[in-house]
A and B are shown apart, each in its own frame.
Chain A
Amino acid sequence: MDKPLTQNFRPDRDFATLADYEASGGYRGLRKALEIQPQEVQQQVKDAGLRGRGGSGFLTGLKWNFVPMGKDAPQPKYLVVNADEMEPGTFKDRMLLEKDPHQLLEGAVIAAYAIQAKIAYIFLRGEYRLAASRLRRALQEARQHGYLGKHILGSDFSLEMHLHSSAGRYICGEETALLNALEGKRANPRVKPPYPHVSGLWGKPTVVNNVETLCNVPHILHYGIEWYRGLGRREDKGTKLFGASGRVNRPGLWELPMGTPIREIFEEHAGGMQDGYRLRGFLPGGASTEFLLPEHLDVAMDFDAVAKAGSRLGTGAMIVLDDRVCPVKMVLNLEEFFSQESCGWCTPCRDGLPWTVTLLRDIVAGHGRREDLDTLSGLTRMLGPGNTFCALAPGAMEPLQSALKFFRADFERYLEDGGKT
């Protein structure tokens, strides 16, 4: 099986029911997990090489390893599923939630067992109403069939799992902001350290994992480490949901091996550019990644290769810039998003993003000044890594900084003649 995450996605049915999921081997990974020690589950996921699919690329098993274990560990511990997918251009978690909700639940139960959490929350973005109804149904079925609740599958392990529907705010996807949101506070990020695995929800050890990350876990337990490692094409292991949107022939989502070349995703799966459009560049992993150019099409989609090319794998959702879209206006649209969604907690982000938007609007309106480009470059440093509580502002600067480098002539044309040519 080379497409474990999407094996139950079928054109002839809306979603996989519990029976469908069980028939495809569902909940067997959980049975296997419950037969071994929690630490062994952590070790298997670590050895499999699964890296966080929310964009961080951190080794999932290692994250679990950091959680205090044993009798003296603070109680209760929590597992939180980050289903607050809101990165523009990204639509992978929605598909996983809508089409195979039990896969996520199984992954979450195994993760909770691995860290010995007693309570789990699924933090779902408010707009995902269809996903909410399917998750509610799946949670009820899982409880009825002994996959959730007291003494799961007759073991000593018990877990409560609740669905928390949020109400729409990008920052909630940041794991410490998510914890504040879940506690009923404004979703401002927290200073780290302490990290959530030591002091998370209500000060208790908490692991926050992305939906796609957790969906990998049942298969690792069920089919084994060697099988999982064999799925990747290069350094990174397993498969990944890759997406493409924009003026391509077949926008969509495909489960492919980690390390698949961008060209293969773009040409074979997305079908290349629509007639009359040329590829100018693309954001490889969602709105908060650096632009890459057609010359980068042979880069492999894994964490290190994309980083080496000067961008980030991010969410693996490719946003395609065609030759009829002005890159300056595209960056303006992105910065308007980040500016609106800044939580306002720290100054560089709260003040720097609106300033960025103002400068870009001026340039696009034809009354930009030459020094504005230097100011924008300065902002990419001021809002860059190390100056803010979280990654929102540094992420916002990635498309801007790369656009200033790759599409400088487009910026300058506005300064010369107001963009009339």
Chain B
Amino acid sequence: MAEQHPGAIIETLSAAEIAAIRETAARYEDKAAAAIEALQIVQQQRGWVSDACLAAAAEVLQITPAQLDAVATFYNLIYRQPVGKRVIHYCNSVTCWMLGADNIREHLCRRLGVRPGEMTTDGEYTLLPIVCLGACDHAPVIMVEDVTFLDVDERAIDAILRGE
């Protein structure tokens, strides 16, 4: 059993990550159900999910890496490539789009010097689109890390980037 003979692959993850994944897996009839949460646990520590970490998490859950990667690649919020320290998601769904999401995107691109999907050269930010964030009464909105910013305009974005 993996618990008794931790292999080389599983050791890619920290003991804390492995423990957190196991604790989550215990909530389900089948460990595989913790797939998405295992990926989130890894990503929270490391910012993204590398091939090595994915293989290790798969081993903890006793599923194949391919099975876990099928899940990882399905979701918008699991990153399989390195991202900046802070990920900025701008909503491009219908209400935000009507209220200026394209301008928000272009302003972010100009300020950061990247196109959507890219990371700034200093590794600080990655810019990504996201679908409706469920705050359409305050469109347009962006999400920076865990925080959703409402009613944003160019000025608000400049303030957010200055850390205000």
Residues on A facing B (Cβ under 8 Å): 85-91, 93-94, 125-130, 160, 162, 164-170, 181-187, 201-202, 243-247, 251-253, 287, 317, 319, 321-322, 325, 330, 333-334, 337, 340-341, 343
| Contact of B134 with A127 in the complex, beta carbons under 8 Å | yes
Q: Is there an interface contact between A90 and B132, defined as CB atoms closer than 8 Å?
A: yes
Give chain A nearest CB distance to B22 CB in angstroms. 14
Q: Which residue of B lies closest to A94 (CB)?
A: B134
**A185 adjacent to B71 (CB under 8 Å):** yes
Q: How far does the alpha carbon of A305 sit from the alpha carbon of B95 in the complex, in Å?
A: 25
> Do residues B138 and A168 form an inter-chain contact, with CB atoms below 8 A?
no
CB nearest neighbor in A for B101: A333
Tell whether, in the assembled complex, residue A88 and residue B95 are in contact, meaning their CB atoms are under 8 Å apart: yes
Q: Mark B71-92, 1 if CB is under 8 A from A, else 0.
A: 1001111100000000001001
Given A127-B89, A127-B148, A168-B75, list of 10 further CB < 8 A pairs? Answer: A87-B132, A88-B95, A90-B136, A93-B134, A130-B148, A202-B30, A246-B98, A247-B98, A319-B95, A322-B98
Q: Which residues of B contact A162 (CB under 8 A)?
A: 27
Which residue in chain B gives the minimum CB-CB distance to A182? B33
| B132 contacts A88, C-beta separation under 8 Å | yes
B13, CB-defined interface residue at 8 Å: no
Q: When the two chains form their complex, are residues A165 and B139 in contact, meaning their CB atoms are under 8 A apart?
A: no
Other-chain residue from A129, A166, A202 in contact with B146 (beta carbon distance below 8 A): A129
Cβ 8 A contact of A166, one of B75, B97, B132: B75
Return the contact of B131 from the options A160, A317, A321, A340 (Cβ within 8 A).
Answer: A340
- Name the distance in Å between A400's Cβ and chain B's nearest Cβ: 13
Please name 28 pairs of A and B residues whose Cβ atoms are closer than 8 Å in the assembled complex, sorted by A: A86-B134, A87-B132, A88-B94, A89-B95, A89-B136, A91-B135, A126-B40, A129-B147, A165-B37, A167-B39, A167-B40, A184-B28, A184-B32, A184-B35, A185-B32, A185-B71, A186-B74, A187-B74, A202-B29, A202-B30, A244-B137, A245-B137, A251-B138, A253-B137, A321-B98, A330-B98, A333-B97, A337-B131
A341 touches B131 (CB 8 A): yes
Across the interface, name the chain A residue whose C-beta is closest to B29.
Answer: A202
Question: In the complex, are the beta carbons of B134 and A167 less than 8 A apart?
Answer: no
What chain B residues lie within 8 Å of A244 (beta carbons)? 137
Interface contact B139-A127, CB-CB below 8 Å = no
Residues of A within 8 A of B97 (CB): 330, 333
Across the interface, do B36 and A245 meet the contact criterion of CB distance under 8 Å?
no
CB distance from B81 to the nearest CB of A (A): 15
Q: Which of A93, A167, A251, A325 contacts B36 (CB 8 A)?
A: A167
- The listed residue (B40, B94, B133, B139) touching A334 by CB distance below 8 A is B94
B134 to chain A, nearest CB (A): 4
Evaluate whether A164 and B94 lie within 8 angstroms (CB atoms) in the complex, with A91-B135, A187-B74 already known: no
A337 to B132, CA, bound (A): 9
Shortest Cβ distance from A325 into B: residue:
B98
A89 and B132 contact, Cβ closer than 8 Å, known pairs A245-B95, A252-B137:
yes
Q: Which residues of B contact A (CB under 8 A)?
A: 27-30, 32-37, 39-40, 61, 63, 70-71, 74-78, 89, 92-95, 97-99, 130-139, 143, 146-148
- Please, which residues of chain A bring their CB within 8 A of the CB of B132? 86-90, 287, 337
Collect the chain A residues with CB atoms within 8 Å of residue B74's CB. Answer: 169, 186-187, 343
B78 contacts which chain A residues (CB < 8 A)?
A: 167
Contacts of A125 in B (CB 8 A): 134
Please measure, in the bound complex, the distance between the C-alpha atom of A341 and the C-alpha atom of B74, giving whole angstroms. Answer: 10
* CA A333 to CA B130, docked complex, whole Å: 13
User: Given the complex of chains A and B, what is the CA–CA distance between A343 and B75 in angstroms?
Assistant: 10
Residues on A with C-beta less than 8 A from B77 are: 126-127, 167-168
Distance, CA A287 to CA B132, complexed state (A): 10
Contacts of B137 in A (CB 8 A): 91, 243-245, 251-253
Shortest CB distance B88–A (Å) = 13
The answer on a CB contact under 8 Å between A127 and B30 is no
Asked if B134 contacts A91 (CB within 8 A), the reply is: yes
Pick the contact of B75: A160, A167, A317 (CB < 8 A).
A167
Taking the closest CB of chain B, its distance from the CB of A108, in whole angstroms, is 16
In the complex, chain A residues whose CB is within 8 Å of the CB of B63: 184
B residues near A247, Cβ cutoff 8 Å = 98-99
Also in contact, A183 and B32, with CB within 8 A (given A86-B134, A245-B136, A317-B136) = yes
| Chain B residues within 8 Å of A89, by CB | 93-95, 132, 136
Q: How far is the CA of A113 from the CA of B149 in the complex (A)?
A: 39
Interface centre among B33, B94, B138, B143 (most CB of A within 10 A): B94
Which of A168, A183, A246, A252 touches B99 (beta carbons < 8 Å)?
Answer: A246
How far is A33 from B113 in the complex, measured between Cα atoms in Å? 59
- Tell me the smallest distance from the CB of A360 to a CB of chain B, in Å: 14
Smallest CB gap from A92: residue in B? B134
A245 touching B139, Cβ below 8 Å: yes
Q: What residues on A are CB-neighbors of B134 within 8 Å?
A: 85-86, 90-91, 93-94, 125, 127-128
Checking B33, B34, B94, B133 against A127 with a beta-carbon cut-off of 8 angstroms, the contacting residue is B133
The CA-CA distance from A128 to B139 in the complex, in Å, is 16
Residues B32 and A170 in contact, CB atoms below 8 Å apart:
no
